[in-house]
Amino acid sequence: MEQQFNLRFSKNRQYIIEILESEKIPLCVDFIFEKLRLKNKSVSLSTVYRILEKLVINNTVVKTIFGDDLKAKFELNRQGHKHYLICTECNDMVPIHNCPIGEIEKSLQENTGFYIKGHKLEVYGHCAKCHG
Amino acid sequence: MEQQFNLRFSKNRQYIIEILESEKIPLCVDFIFEKLRLKNKSVSLSTVYRILEKLVINNTVVKTIFGDDLKAKFELNRQGHKHYLICTECNDMVPIHNCPIGEIEKSLQENTGFYIKGHKLEVYGHCAKCHG
DNA sequence: TTGGTTGCAAAACGTTTGCATGTGC
DNA sequence: GCACATGCAAACGTTTTGCAACCAA
């Protein structure tokens, strides 16, 4: 499950992991690219994509598409923090800590014959600020 | 909530709705485009996009992006059928009829101050066929 | 030296848009 | 006739890829 190919040390990969660590929510490639530039650690866009791709295969990073956006977001594969409450006005994302799906998976598995490996849950609404 | 703009009769729109009706799962634009072609009802790709866009605004059709795919899928806005069990091997999609999120939304609303409007749930696994 | 890593430019991909033409009402 | 519907080609934004140079081990 770890390291499906050989990785060499790379400063750029370290920088990107640091950015993903410092932010608590999923980030899009643009944001990471810009953040690197602002830190004077510019990395080419294709390299950002390539690094993220490997980290995803590696299981270090999780790639998700939220809503019907057409761009991917990336976050560290931490424990918990897998679901988000998303404000459709300001796009603020708040982690949902309790995951209520585990029990449901069990009954689904029995009813459908599927061997269930995971799930994705997003909840949408207006945050307190935007809900005037 | 209905008909946010004037729609005129259009054969192409009818054909697309028929295809969405006959299939029980979300379809991508390619599939719809190809299906039309095979029925000798060819419609240009941009027209397919434009028709679907209007049907989405109209609330006749729901647009979703599943997993970390980079293309949208469309399905009729039927009652229920909002969640899917997806086989990560063969991409088979099975509707989940019970929606267990309603109750959770209530407590989330209280805890977060969010005014909750909806949610998205997908469950991933291997279907019986693919789970050898 | 070997093979992963990078930058650049170009291509690929899904989607959107401008414009001229066609068509329902 | 007006406004929506359509086809075509071009543009767009995101992501991927080919290639040559670079660098960790």
pLDDT digits (tens, 9 = 90+) for B97-120: 878 788 888 888 999 999 999 999
Q: Is the pLDDT score of B15 beyond 80?
A: yes
The answer to whether the beta carbon of residue A30 comes closer than 7 angstroms to any atom of strand D is yes
Q: Is the pLDDT score of A44 beyond 70?
A: yes
Q: What is the mean pLDDT of residues A26-30?
A: 97
Residue B51: per-residue pLDDT: 98
Q: Which element (helix H / strand E) includes B85?
A: strand B83-87
Residue B131: per-residue pLDDT: 81
Which of B65, B115, B126 is facing A126, going by the closest CB pair? B115
B36 min Cα distance to partner chain A (Å): 24
B93 min Cα distance to partner chain A (Å): 11
Which of A116, A119, A123 is facing B119, going by the closest CB pair? A123
Nearest to B117 by CA among A81, A83, A25, A87: A87
Q: Is the pLDDT score of B2 beyond 50?
A: no
Using a 7 Å cut-off to protein CB atoms, list the covered nucleotides of chain C. 3-10, 13-18, 24-25
Question: Chain A contact for B124, CB < 8 A?
Answer: yes
Residue A2: per-residue pLDDT: 44
Residue B119: per-residue pLDDT: 92
AA letter at A16: I
How far is the C-alpha of A86 from the C-alpha of A98, rounded, in Å?
16
Residues of A in Cβ contact (< 8 Å) with B122 = 119-121
pLDDT digits (tens, 9 = 90+) for B35-69: 999 999 999 999 999 999 999 999 999 999 999 99
Q: Which two tokens stand for residue A108?
A: 């689904």
More confident residue, A19 or B98: A19
Nearest to B25 by CA among B98, B88, B66, B84: B84
Q: Is the pLDDT score of A61 beyond 50?
A: yes
Nearest to B67 by CA among B89, B97, B35: B89
Q: What is the mean pLDDT of residues A47-64?
A: 96
Residue B3: per-residue pLDDT: 46
Q: What is the mean pLDDT of residues A67-96?
A: 90
B55 min Cα distance to partner chain A (Å): 15
How far is the C-alpha of B60 from the C-alpha of B62, rounded, in Å?
7
In the predicted model, what is the mean pLDDT of chain B?
A: 91
Residue A1: per-residue pLDDT: 41
Phi, psi of A125 (to 5 degrees): 180, -165
Instruction: Band the pLDDT of A103: cuts 50, 70, 90.
Output: confident
Q: What is the mean pLDDT of residues B1-22?
A: 85
Residue B72: per-residue pLDDT: 98
